Amino acid sequence: MSFGDPNNPYGPPPQGQPGYPPQPPQGQPGYGYPQGAPQQPPAYGYPQGQPAYPGYPGGPMMPMEMPGLMKTARVFLFILSGFQILGGLAAGMVVGMVQDVSNGVGSGDDTDALAGLGLLLAAFLLGLGALSIFLGVKFKNGGNGIRVTTIVYASLMIVGGIVNTVSGQTGSATFGGLISLAIAGIILASMVNSQASAWFNRPRY
């Protein structure tokens, strides 16, 4: 039985030899590649077998901006410090001038106690001015301790403003007490709200 010329392109396909399974032609599924879509090359820039790292959902976090109430309170602290420092310097100069006059007339020993109280008051005003500046500067990066200190400080200033306004014998003392009372009231109101709590308790990066 003749099987034909195996080199004839127009003849029937050659039969497989007995005992060997037919081999599929190249390019058909099942030869060299799994069935289905061909595999895609891995993503460029990432190692094979590892997924690409996801990006951050919101990108880098922006720093929180100081609320308007905090800015207002900060400005009033600086204004209050200016009045306190000027008041302390003025009180010290007045006490020094009075003491010089008393020493000139021979009664300096009688006014030493009053001069000491005057100088103590001047130093107290200067200290308050320095504290006001310190609190105002710390508003930017300070924590909840700065907020609590400012609340206590503003409360004491309100009490002092009320005392000066009620017991003031001269118009200047009453006027100064009213100004101090108004400024301290604004500062205190700015410190006891949710915006102040959120600002001074914000996370630091």
pLDDT digits (tens, 9 = 90+) for 33-91: 455 455 555 555 444 544 444 444 444 556 678 888 899 999 999 999 998 899 899 98
Its pTM surpasses 0.75: no
DSSP 100: H
In a domain, 189, yes or no: yes
In a domain, 14, yes or no: no
In a domain, 29, yes or no: no
Provide the domain count of the chain. Answer: 1
Helix axes 144-167, 171-191, angle to 10 degrees: 150
> Which H helix or E strand runs over 199?
helix 194-200
Has residue 174 got a pLDDT over 80? no
Could you list the residue range(s) of the whole structural domain that residue 191 is in? 68-200
